[in-house]
């Protein structure tokens, strides 16, 4: 496995511990040397991001994460940086104790933290409280410390993982450190990239501590971080029939916007033809706004059945509703056994009438829809998004996109890809409708369900980032993504 590969591989906490143990046992690198390397990498990271920093405060917990902090404090002092170190209790474990003594023998003073202690004015705070082992909420007294650190307004560098963030799942069960930069060691932890975690980790910088590539040979990763990709160029002789026909089904009374966004995104996603099966009241608006769409009045299953033979893939759910009309179209679409993208009410109806799939199907739930599909609450989804998306894919026999910060894509065999792009401006109505259309367009052009879902999610998120780059995040709307999407599909990113 190359360096490039393992830097895009995401690991569970247990898998990283196994790599750590392998470095010690098989490569003969002492654990304390790994701690020294982590501290050195942290100092380099500190200087890269805050080259003018002259005063830092380091907050050390009792374990090995605290040991990293003590050694960083010692190195900082040697480098002429004033380092004040605060300890949360006594150090535990031989290496952590040794690191603390090394800091003290170098002339450093360790201040025992309690709520009466005032925090210093510094350029950077360093979080070395808890590492990957903490999977519960911070204790109240630690939460007080974290709150005071934030109140100073100075930036925070987190060592390995911001304390209070679950490095395995991305959950944040209570107060947590909000870092501007997280320097993580040996291998990327999967929890840093999804759920609530992206709001706490800031910029994630991986430091593999100079370990040889042989460490990763044969090591199994839990998930993969998506990389930019696009479709190959079209042959010169292409015609619309080569690029598939998407049939978008939805738009009950009052929801013309949802089905228009979906179908227009399918056009911008490169489908050769896009038809819309919707209510009669929407036809004038659709034909006027986007005449390239072929909008049809569909008042029931028979009218829909007449459109199915020409379709390559179905996009079902945006604005569909859960009434008699939507339910009848939903049943007809699923019974057609065509490649399918299910979203919105297409998923809500599935939660009421579960069925598995054997053909190419992509489901795109947000956490609320995922909870309904699994018969749980949204908190259960948030606690472990990896487990949730894998269970959805296995239960329904489909490729599943669990939307949100750090969207996850899973297949029924347990493979998971994680999206590193996207921004808060995309938390607005209609964004999911766009994604449905984009994924359907990619399936129409020949992508299998996994390829369409991963490429669709990445294009959607990257288009959102491009749109925000040129106009800002606040006030971003779904249609702002359509032109950047076109650029990205054609291999351009500016």
Pair 158, 130: CB distance under 8 Å: no
Alpha-carbon distance 19 to 54, whole Å?
A: 35
Beta bridge partners of 410: 400, 416
Alpha-carbon distance 34 to 28, whole Å?
A: 11
Alpha-carbon distance 390 to 398, whole Å?
A: 10
Cβ atoms within 10 Å, residue 180: 16
Q: Give pLDDT tens digits for 414-432.
A: 999 999 999 999 999 999 9
Instruction: Indicate if the alpha-carbon torsion angle 329, 334, 338, 344 is positive or negative.
Output: positive
CA angle, 449 then 450 then 452, to 5°: 65
3-state secondary structure of 362: strand
Of 1 and 433, more confident: 433
| pLDDT of 5 strictly over 80 | no
Q: What percent of the chain has pLDDT over 90?
A: 89
DSSP 8-state assignment for residue 323: S
Alpha-carbon distance 237 to 256, whole Å?
A: 35
DSSP string, 241-292: GGG-EEEEE---TT-HHHHHHHHHHHHHTT-SEEEEEE-GGGHHHHHHH-TT
Alpha-carbon distance 95 to 112, whole Å?
A: 19
pLDDT confidence of residue 7: 74
Mean pLDDT calculated for residue range 330-344: 97
Element (H, E) at 304: helix 301-305
Pair 487, 466: CB distance under 8 Å: yes
Which residues are within 8 A (CB) of 392 and not within 5 positions of it... i.e. 6 or more apart? 363, 365, 370, 373, 374, 398, 400, 402, 410
Q: Give pLDDT tens digits for 61-110.
A: 999 999 999 999 999 999 999 999 999 999 999 999 999 999 999 999 99
3-state secondary structure of 300: coil
pLDDT confidence of residue 296: 97
3-state secondary structure of 380: helix
Q: How confident is the model at residue 2 (pLDDT cuts 50, 70, 90)?
A: very low
Phi and psi (nearest 5°) for 340?
Answer: -145, 140
- Label the pairing between strands 181-185 and 294-297: unpaired
Q: Give pLDDT tens digits for 264-292.
A: 999 999 999 999 999 999 999 999 999 99
Mean pLDDT calculated for residue range 121-140: 93
Cβ atoms within 10 Å, residue 401: 32
**Model pTM?**
0.95
Q: Which of 480, 6, 452 is nearest to 218 (CA)?
A: 6
Q: How confident is the model at residue 1 (pLDDT cuts 50, 70, 90)?
A: very low
Which residues are within 8 A (CB) of 443 and not within 5 positions of it... i.e. 6 or more apart? 244, 312, 313, 339, 341, 360, 362, 449, 452
Beta bridge partners of 264: none
Q: Return the residue matching tokens 């297949």.
A: 411
DSSP string, 401-424: EE-STT-EEE-TT--EEE-----G
Alpha-carbon distance 221 to 188, whole Å?
A: 10
| pLDDT of 4 strictly over 50 | no
Mean pLDDT of all residues in the chain? 95
pLDDT confidence of residue 3: 39
């Amino acid at each position: 496995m190359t360096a490039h590969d393992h830097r895009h591989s995401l690991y569970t906490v247990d898998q990283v511990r196994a790599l750590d143990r392998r470095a010690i046992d098989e490569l003969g690198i002492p654990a304390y040397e790994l701690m020294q390397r982590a501290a050195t990498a942290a100092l380099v990271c500190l200087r890269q991001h805050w080259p003018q920093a002259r005063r830092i405060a380091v907050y050390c917990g009792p374990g090995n994460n605290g040991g990293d902090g003590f050694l960083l404090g010692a190195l900082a002092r040697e480098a002429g940086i004033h380092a004040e170190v605060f300890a949360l209790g006594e150090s535990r474990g031989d290496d952590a104790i040794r690191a603390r003594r090394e800091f003290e023998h170098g002339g450093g003073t360790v201040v025992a933290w309690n709520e009466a202690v005032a925090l210093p004015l510094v350029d950077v705070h360093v979080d070395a409280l808890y590492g990957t082992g903490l999977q519960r909420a911070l204790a109240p007294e630690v939460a007080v410390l974290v709150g005071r650190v934030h109140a100073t307004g100075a930036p925070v560098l987190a060592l390995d993982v911001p304390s209070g963030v679950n490095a395995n799942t991305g959950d944040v069960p209570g107060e947590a450190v909000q870092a501007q930069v997280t320097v993580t060691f040996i291998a990327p932890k999967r929890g840093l990239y999804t759920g609530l975690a992206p709001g706490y980790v800031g910029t994630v910088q991986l430091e593999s501590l100079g370990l040889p590539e042989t460490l990763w040979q044969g090591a199994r990763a839990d998930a993969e971080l998506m990389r930019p990709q696009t479709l190959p160029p079209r042959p010169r002789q292409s015609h619309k029939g080569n690029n598939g026909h998407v049939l978008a089904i939805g738009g009950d009374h009052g929801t013309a916007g949802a089905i228009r966004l979906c179908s227009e995104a399918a056009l911008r996603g490169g489908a050769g033809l896009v038809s819309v099966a919707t209510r009669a009241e929407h036809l004038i608006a659709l034909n006027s706004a986007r005449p390239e769409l072929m909008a049809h009045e569909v008042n029931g299953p028979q009218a829909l059945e007449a459109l199915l033979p020409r379709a390559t893939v179905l996009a079902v759910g945006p604005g569909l509703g859960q009434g008699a009309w939507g339910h009848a179209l939903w049943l007809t679409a699923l019974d057609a056994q065509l490649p399918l993208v299910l979203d919105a009410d297409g998923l809500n109806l599935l939660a009421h009438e579960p069925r598995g799939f054997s053909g190419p199907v992509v489901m795109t739930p947000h956490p609320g829809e995922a909870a309904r599909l699994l018969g749980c609450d949204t908190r259960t989804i948030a606690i472990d998004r990896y487990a949730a998306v894998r269970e959805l894919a296995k239960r329904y026999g489909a490729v599943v996109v669990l939307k949100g910060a750090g969207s996850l894509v899973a297949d029924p065999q347990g493979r998971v890809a994680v999206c590193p792009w996207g921004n808060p401006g995309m938390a607005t109505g209609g964004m999911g409708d766009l994604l449905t259309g984009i994924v359907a367009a990619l399936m129409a052009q020949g992508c299998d369900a996994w390829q369409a879902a991963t490429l669709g999610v990445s294009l959607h998120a990257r288009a959102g980032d491009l749109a925000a780059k040129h106009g800002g995040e606040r006030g971003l709307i779904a249609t702002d993504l359509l032109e950047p999407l076109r650029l990205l599909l054609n291999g351009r990113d500016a």
